Amino acid sequence: NAGVTQTPKFQVLKTGQSMTLQCAQDMNHNSMYWYRQDPGMGLRLIYYSASEGTTDKGEVPNGYNVSRLNKREFSLRLESAAPSQTSVYFCASSVTGGVQPQHFGDGTRLSIL
């Protein structure tokens, strides 16, 4: 059982480049989330999708866009990468939104030079 799969695992970009982080879950979960984790700051929510066809901003959405492609897949796009977006990005899913336990992927480590 794969759970939540994120690709790529590592990426180095130059300032101004764009890229899309991919996330897929095979647990038939309705809700999906994108977080970033910076040293000493815990996880901060970027965007979430409570159900297929809906997306909402989280705490730190600026500089990012998302697409809930279908029930399984939720992608995060950086249109013009900035050094401040250097971070570890985690995708998560849960059965429903709100207070349900979340299942996490192993992250994408992104460096912006």
Partner 1 sequence: SQQGEEDPQALSIQEGENATMNCSYKTSINNLQWYRQNSGRGLVHLILIRSNEREKHSGRLRVTLDTSKKSSSLLITASRAADTASYFCATDDSSASKIIFGSGTRLSIRP
Compute the least distance from the CB of residue 30 to partner 1, in Å: 13
Rounded least distance, CB 90 to partner 1, Å: 6
CA 32 to chain CA centroid, nearest Å? 8
CA atoms within 13 A on the CB side of 107: 12
What is the phi-psi region of residue 63: left when phi exceeds 0, alpha when psi lies from -120 to 50, beta otherwise?
Answer: left
DSSP bridge partners of 21: 76
Shortest separation between residue 54's beta carbon and partner 1, angstroms: 11
Provide, rounded to whole angstroms, the least separation between the CB of residue 105 and partner 1. Answer: 5
Residues 7-37 as b or e (16 or more Cβ within 10 Å = b): eeeebebeeeeeeebbbbbeeebbbbbbbbe
Cβ proximity to partner 1, 26 vs 59, nearer residue: 59
Nearer to partner 1, 9 or 18 (CB): 9
Q: Which is nearer to partner 1, 72 or 103 (CB)?
A: 103
User: Which residues make up the interface to partner 1 (CB under 8 A)?
Assistant: 4, 33, 35, 40-45, 48, 50, 56, 58-59, 90, 92, 97-99, 101-107
Judged by CB, which is closer to partner 1: 19, or 45? 45
